[in-house]
Amino acid sequence: MADPGFFLTMKKFIILLTIALLLCNILYSKTIDLTIVNPRKENDLFKMEIELRRTDSWDNLGLGNCDFAFSKNPESFNENPYVENLNPSIDNNINYDLTFITQQNTFLLQIMYDNNGGSDWILSLNENVCLCTINFLINNPNTFSCIEWISSTVIWTTQLFDFVTPAFYGSGNISLLSADPSGNEQIVDMVQNSPNPFGSSSSNTNLSITVPSQGHMELNVFNIKGQIVNNLYNDVVQKNQDIQLSWDGKDSRGNDLSSGIYLYQLLIENKLFETKKVVIIR
């Protein structure tokens, strides 16, 4: 029969080896910042750029396979976005192939690396570079519209297939798609909420509303799929009336909403005045 001491020794060895590997991963981690910048509407298109920034030493390793995953509102955007202004380090480079994979609520911008004799793209340290411009055809400019990172499905590697840890910044929260600027009164910071984010150290967020117009007003909360999750106000108001509200991060049935990004949408007489973002952290 095997010596029990042997198994105990092996168990300790495996634990120490696991700790050593974790420490090596921390000490020699490879990281990159991903940012959505300049989200905007131009004619019938929603456009945004993706910027990259390498934040630690990769020993001059080039960019490998990369997946950029986003969620979107399918009622607002066409299923087939397209890329322009692709970074010259990838454009026409036989080492890289860029494709789109789209579904109803998500899309995936995918870079595939294959060392075919081209030049590897080596990102400069701590320097913001633009990967590309992404264009969405707007199907319905009157619906809630949002673009967000899906960080759980984003994968990065170097040319040697070492894993890279991405950090995500920026959001394509698009209140400007909700109305035609030429036909609506432009109101800035009409709805203010604090704290934002909320849900961990503070269980409620406080909203201050300066009413821009007389009539029947609604303040609704939507998730990033464009689904209404709660109605916070539904009554007749007077112009310049000040309204103070508090929201506990629950849906209309009293259930706690999960961590994530939500939006307030303020309408008076079915006319949209403002859409603003709030973040819940549980």
Report all structural domains of the chain as residue ranges with CATH numbers, in order of start.
31-177 (2.60.40.680), 191-280 (2.60.40.4070)
Q: pLDDT class for 281, splitting at 50, 70, 90? A: confident
Q: Name the most confidently modeled range: 139-153, 159-173, 211-225, 246-260.
A: 246-260
Helix (H, G, I), strand (E, B) or coil at 79: coil
Helix (H, G, I), strand (E, B) or coil at 20: helix
Instruction: Identify which of 68, 64, 51, 56 has the alpha carbon closest to the alpha carbon of residue 31.
Output: 56
**Are the C-beta atoms of 70 and 149 separated by less than 8 Å?**
yes
Report the alpha-carbon distance of residue 251 to residue 204 in Å, rounded. 13
CA distances from 139 to 71, 181, 229, 271 (A): 16, 17, 23, 19
Q: What is the pLDDT of residue 230?
A: 92
Tell me the one-letter amino acid at 21: L
| DSSP string over 104-119 | SSEEEEEEEE--SSS-
Q: What is the average pLDDT value for the chain, to the nearest integer?
A: 77
Q: pLDDT class for 187, splitting at 50, 70, 90? A: very low
Query: Any idea of the CA torsion for 158, 163, 169, 175, to the nearest 10 degrees?
Result: 90
Q: What is the pLDDT of residue 23?
A: 47
Structure tokens that stand for 143 in this block: 């619906």
Instruction: Identify which of 41, 57, 67, 231 has the alpha carbon closest to the alpha carbon of residue 145.
Output: 41
Report the alpha-carbon distance of residue 202 to residue 204 in Å, rounded. 6
What average pLDDT does the segment 73-94 reach? Answer: 83
What average pLDDT does the segment 88-95 reach? Answer: 89
Report the alpha-carbon distance of residue 7 to residue 15 in Å, rounded. 12
CA distances from 51 to 78, 88, 110, 157 (A): 23, 14, 15, 17
Report the alpha-carbon distance of residue 36 to residue 48 in Å, rounded. 7
Please enumerate in sequence order all residues whose Cβ is within 8 A of that of 142, keeping only pairs 6 or more positions apart, or say none.
178, 179, 272
* 215-273 tens-digit pLDDT: 999 998 888 666 789 999 999 999 888 989 999 999 999 998 888 778 788 888 877 77
Q: What is the pLDDT of residue 131?
A: 92
